[in-house]
Copies of this chain bind each other. A is one copy, B any other.
C-alpha cells in the first residue's frame, strides 16, 4: 500500500478548508484522518497533538488574512486605507468563517507559537500603516492600533455570530463605524 503523503502542512491546510466547509467544531483529528484515507494514529507522526494542529491553523490563517489586508492596503492612505483594511478584514471573515473562528484565541496566552507571534506583529505593522496617514503621534500608536484591532475583530465576531440580530443594515453600520473611527483618528485626543 503506497503512502498517503500526509504532511503537517497538508494537514493544516486541510483543517482550514474543513473549518470553512463543515464548521470549526467538526474539524477533528479523526475527520482529518478520514479525509486523507489514513488511520487517526498516523497523524501523530506529523503533528504533536490536536492542540499543535490548532496552533498551526491559527498561524496559517493569520498569515492569509495579513496577505489580504496588505494587498488591499497597497497604495492607499488616510481614510481610503482605513476603509480598505477594514473591508478586506471583514470580507475575509465572512468568506471564511471557519478559518476566522479558528483564530479566536480559546483563552490561553503563553501558548502562542513563534509563528503566531510573528503573524500578530505583521497585523500590528499593517495597522500602523494606517495610522501613518493620520499623523497619530508615535506614543499614541499602541492604543490606536488596539482601538482598530478591537473594533474590527469585535464587529466581525458579533456579526458572524448573529449578535446584530437582523435589525438594521450591517453594511450601513459598518460604514458609519468607519466614519466614526476616521473622526477619532483625525482628532486623536491629546495626551
Chain B residues with CB under 8 Å of A189's CB are: 176, 179-180, 182-183
A8-16, A40-48, A163-171 - the one binding chain B: A163-171
Q: How far is the CA of A180 from the CA of B134 in the complex (A)?
A: 14
CB distance from A123 to the nearest CB of B (A): 9
Known: A23-B107, A117-B165. 7 other contacts (CB 8 A): A105-B162, A120-B165, A142-B167, A147-B151, A147-B177, A154-B155, A180-B188
Tally of contact residues, A, Cβ under 8 A: 54
- Determine whether the beta carbon of B107 is less than 8 Å from that of A97: yes
With an 8 A cutoff between CB atoms, is A25 at the interface? Answer: yes
Chain A residues within CB distance 8 Å of chain B:
23-25, 97, 101, 104-110, 112, 117, 120, 140, 142-144, 146-147, 149-155, 157-158, 160-165, 167-168, 172-177, 179-185, 187-189
Chain B residues with CB under 8 Å of A187's CB are: 183, 187
Partner of A184, one of B25, B146, B160, B184: B184
**A24-B107 CB under 8 A given contacts A154-B154, A163-B120:** yes
CB distance from A96 to the nearest CB of B (A): 12
**A150-B177 CB under 8 A given contacts A25-B106, A104-B104, A183-B183:** yes
Partner of A154, one of B107, B157, B175: B157
- Determine whether the beta carbon of A146 is less than 8 Å from that of B158: yes
